[in-house]
Amino acid sequence: MYPFGDQHFWGTIAYQSGVALKPIPLKKLTEDLLITNLRALLNTKHLYNSSFELMHKIRVENGVLNAINFIETNDSNEGFGNR
C-alpha cells in the first residue's frame, strides 16, 4: 500500500491487475489516509476475489518446474552452464 524502492512499480502492476489498492508514496501518507486505505483493503470484495483468482492462476503455472525446464532446455555450451 505504501511502497518504497521498486515496490511502487510492482504496486502499480498489482493495482492495474485489480489485486491491490493504488500505491501511495510515503511522503503523501497521512494518518487518515492510512486508516481509510486499511479499511478499504479489508472491505473491498473485488480485491479479495481478484487476489483469489490470481492465486489459482499462479498455482497451476508450475513456475519453478517451468523455470527448471527452461534452463535445462536452453543450457548449451554458449549458455548458462559454461561461463
- Which amino acid type is present at position 7? Q
CA distance linking residue 57 with residue 75, whole number of Å: 28
pLDDT of 73 higher than 70: yes
CA distance linking residue 10 with residue 52, whole number of Å: 18
End-to-end CA separation in angstroms for the chain: 40
Q: Which residue's entry shows cell 501518507?
A: 29
Higher pLDDT, 12 or 7: 12
* pTM of the full structure: 0.64
pLDDT at 9: 87
pLDDT in tens, 28-72: 889 999 999 999 989 999 999 999 999 999 889 988 999 999 999
Q: Left (φ > 0), alpha (ψ -120 to 50) or beta: where does 62 sit? A: left
